[in-house]
């Protein structure tokens, strides 16, 4: 605390006036400094709000991207499952067709075997008849 010299009617007016001027000057300086700090705080708050908005926007964008990614994955899984199901159906159809063809070929082979057997018997019968005929001719000329 500052002490003033005393004069006739109290304290020395010049010292008091100088002190008041110093205090006023310092007060105005502090007031200006506080005002500047208030402006800085306001500016920082506005900037913080801007960044919060950007953060919210980015979070929404990330959520939308995740949803889109999940939907794409689901569609891809569904398409893959559809392709697998189609492939299985086609494979089953191909196997069934092959089995049917194999059965037909087997039946055809059996039919051919029977026909060959019948043909052999008939041919043997004809050959036997021809041999008998030849022998009968031979007996007639012997």
Extended beta strands in 2-137, E state: 6-7, 10-11
Query: Is 70 exceeded by the pLDDT of residue 7?
Result: no
How far from chain centre, in Å, is Cα 123? 74
Given a contact cutoff of 8 angstroms between Cβ atoms, the answer to whether 5 and 12 are in contact is yes
Query: Is 80 exceeded by the pLDDT of residue 70?
Result: yes
Helix or strand run (H / E) with residue 9: none
pTM above 0.75, yes or no: no
User: Residue-wise over 68-83: b if at least 16 C-beta within 10 A, else e?
Assistant: eeeeeeeeeeeeeeee
What is residue 102's three-state secondary structure? helix
Give a yes or no: residue 1 inside a domain: no
> What per-residue confidence (pLDDT) applies to 74?
97
> What per-residue confidence (pLDDT) applies to 50?
97
Give a yes or no: residue 53 inside a domain: yes
Give a yes or no: residue 106 inside a domain: yes
> What per-residue confidence (pLDDT) applies to 5?
67
| 14-38 residue pLDDT tens | 888 888 899 999 999 999 999 999 9
> What per-residue confidence (pLDDT) applies to 136?
84
Q: State which residues form the domain around 64.
A: 6-141
Residue 32: phi and psi, rounded to 5, are -65, -40
Tokens of 130: 């021809």
| Number of domains the chain contains | 1
* Gyration radius of the chain over CA positions: 59
């Amino acid at each position: 605390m500052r002490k003033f010299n005393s004069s006739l009617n109290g304290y020395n007016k010049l010292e008091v006036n100088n002190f008041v001027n110093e205090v006023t000057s310092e007060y105005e300086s502090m007031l200006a400094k506080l005002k500047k700090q208030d402006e800085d705080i306001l500016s920082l708050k506005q900037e913080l709000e801007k960044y919060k908005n950007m953060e919210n926007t980015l979070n929404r964008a990330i959520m939308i991207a995740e949803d889109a990614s999940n939907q794409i994955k689901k569609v891809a899984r569904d398409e893959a499952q559809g392709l697998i199901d189609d492939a299985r159906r086609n494979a089953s159809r191909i196997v069934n067709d092959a089995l049917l063809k194999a059965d037909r070929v087997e039946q055809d082979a059996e039919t051919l075997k029977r026909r060959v057997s019948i043909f052999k018997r008939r041919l043997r019968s004809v050959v036997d008849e021809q041999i008998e005929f030849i022998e009968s001719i031979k007996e007639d000329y012997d």
